């Protein structure tokens, strides 16, 4: 179903049509309304272009790499062409490897498995858990939350300088893991400056681009990072695939992430009854099993769509939406927008906030049930960061999205609104209006806790 010209005349249409833009949902107060999907930071809806490309290919689906049949050869070409398309989208260097994974989390866990012995990892406490947690088998230095981009660079430089000063002969290498854009505040991090600081001290750097790649161009070469990781489902390609791209030496030298067919070049029996394995040294080394061809192809399709739309145009329009949301929320004194770097910090279309007098889960539930607006509440798989922003001990454990605190404790959760190239202006306008009305008039319905969630009472 296409968006009508009349509808576009009433509100500015999104530059890239997505699935679900015409879906209606019921309201507890009666009637139905077109659903406003404003949770892009969790999973963006599929681009119509991606869906159409996948549907066109689906009848030709076949096994890849080892099939002799026509469909297998076609699928192999499509899979490897997708690899080249994504590598071009990421500005990869000629000797970089690009491995298809399941997600950003999977990509960073793969890299963690490939770390050389004795590698020391530096990571800010502000990272998403995907960047914070995979390094458990390494020596990890957790860096405190910076309050300016300049402080982030200075903090990293000090930590790396201390390591250099105390380094012992034979000590292993170092790796820095940093996000490109926060999944909580949307704020852009100084990736190029952090990469320069890392390299000045002989360390490597991996960029978590899960929130950056859907909104801004990401170039391995221009940012001078060693690796970049992102997820297809945040890039309008929700088919269970992700990417790790960058330097190949650690990946070639590491044991395969998964052992199995596709990763092995040659397997032979030994006289003692065991087996000898010769592993591939290409990306196939870490892509054992039948690959997610649909996922890889959908990422490539999304990359093409974003490139053709032009990031300059997409960024300019998104900044208008960000301004509209920020100015609208600023008109409500009871609202506090969460920020590390301050109100003027550049950001992508991700904002988190709290409302005085409201539990965030209650507020988010009311937005959904009474207005048909989907946002997210909780700690956003970035517990230390959100707890820091909310004034709590960042080491305190908490359950993501828990609507109520333990007796006597402060309830710690926030509301996150996020949007992108598929968001029409009307959805943002509805969100701002709904927030103001909820704060002013309160919820029209009663809510209760069920299985850890705040839901409308029946």
User: What per-residue string of b and e applies to 58-88 under the rule 16 or more CB within 10 Å gives b?
Assistant: eeebeebbeeeeeebebbbebbeebbebbbe
The tokens describing 41, both together, are: 């930071």
92, 119, 381, 454: the active-site residue: 381
User: What per-residue string of b and e applies to 376-404 under the rule 16 or more CB within 10 Å gives b?
Assistant: bbbbbbbbbbbbbbbebebeeebebbbbe
- Whole-angstrom distance, CA of residue 313 vs CA of residue 311: 5
The tokens describing 89, both together, are: 């989208």
Name every residue whose Cβ is closer than 8 Å to that of residue 312 and which is 6 or more positions away in sequence. Answer: none
The tokens describing 77, both together, are: 């070409």
Phi-psi bin for 408: left (phi > 0), alpha (psi -120 to 50), beta?
Answer: left
State how beta strands 120-124 and 174-179 pair: parallel
Q: Is 381 a catalytic residue?
A: yes
Phi, psi of 197 (to 5 degrees): -65, -40
State how beta strands 204-208 and 227-231 pair: parallel
Taking the CB of residue 356, how many other CB atoms lie within 10 A of it? 10
Q: How far is CA 332 from CA 323, 335, 429, in A?
A: 15, 6, 15
- Whole-angstrom distance, CA of residue 404 vs CA of residue 382: 18
Residue 54, H or E segment? helix 48-57
Contact 19, 48 (CB under 8 A): yes
Contact 234, 43 (CB under 8 A): yes
- Whole-angstrom distance, CA of residue 324 vs CA of residue 133: 35
Helical pair 293-309 and 311-330, crossing angle rounded to 10 deg = 80
Maximum Cα–Cα distance across the chain: 80
- Which one, of 359, 370, 328, 394, lies nearest residue 125 by Cα? 394
Which residue bears the tokens 């199995």? 260
Active site amino acids: 381
């Amino acid at each position: 179903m296409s968006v009508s010209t009349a509808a576009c005349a009433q509100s500015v249409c999104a530059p890239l049509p997505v699935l679900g833009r015409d879906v209606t949902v019921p309201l507890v107060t009666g009637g139905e309304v077109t659903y406003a999907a404003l949770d892009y930071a969790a999973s963006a809806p599929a681009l119509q272009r991606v869906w159409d490309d996948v549907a066109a290919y689906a009848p030709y689906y076949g096994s890849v790499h080892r099939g002799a049949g026509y469909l297998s050869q076609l699928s192999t070409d499509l899979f490897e062409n997708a690899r080249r398309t994504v590598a071009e989208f990421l500005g990869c260097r000629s000797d970089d490897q690009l491995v298809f994974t399941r997600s950003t989390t999977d990509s960073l866990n793969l890299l963690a498995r490939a770390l050389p012995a004795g590698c020391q990892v530096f990571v800010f406490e502000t990272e998403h858990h995907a960047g914070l947690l995979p390094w458990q088998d390494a020596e990890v230095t957790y860096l405190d939350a910076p309050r300016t981009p300049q402080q982030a660079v200075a903090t990293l430089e000090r930590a790396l300088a201390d390591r250099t000063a105390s380094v012992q002969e034979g000590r292993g290498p170092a790796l820095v893991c940093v996000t490109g854009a926060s999944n909580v505040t949307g704020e852009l991090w100084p990736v190029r400056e952090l990469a320069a600081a890392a390299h000045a001290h002989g360390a490597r750097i991996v960029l978590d681009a899960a929130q950056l790649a859907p909104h801004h161009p990401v170039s391995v070469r221009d940012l001078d990072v060693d690796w970049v990781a992102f997820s297809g489902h945040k890039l309008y390609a929700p088919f269970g695939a992700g990417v790790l791209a960058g330097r190949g030496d650690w990946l070639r030298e590491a044991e395969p992430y998964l052992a199995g067919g596709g990763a092995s070049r040659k397997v032979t029996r030994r006289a003692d009854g065991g087996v000898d394995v010769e592993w591939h040294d290409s990306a196939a080394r870490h892509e054992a099993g039948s690959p997610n061809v649909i996922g890889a192809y959908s990422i490539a399709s999304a990359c093409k769509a974003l490139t053709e739309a032009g990031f300059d145009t997409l960024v300019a329009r998104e900044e208008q939406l960000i301004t509209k949301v920020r100015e609208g929320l600023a008109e409500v004194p009871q609202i506090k927008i969460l920020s590390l770097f301050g109100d003027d910090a550049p950001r992508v279309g991700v904002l988190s906030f709290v409302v005085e007098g409201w539990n965030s889960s209650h507020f988010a539930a009311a937005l959904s049930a009474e207005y048909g607006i989907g946002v997210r509440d909780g700690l956003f798989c970035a517990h230390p960061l959100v707890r820091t922003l909310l004034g709590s001990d960042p080491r305190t454990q908490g359950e993501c999205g828990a609507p109520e605190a333990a007796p006597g404790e402060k309830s710690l959760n926030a509301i996150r609104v996020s949007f992108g190239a598929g968001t029409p202006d009307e959805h943002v306008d509805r969100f701002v209006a709904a927030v103001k009305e909820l704060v002013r008039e309160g919820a029209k319905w009663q809510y209760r806790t069920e299985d850890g969630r705040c839901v409308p009472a029946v």
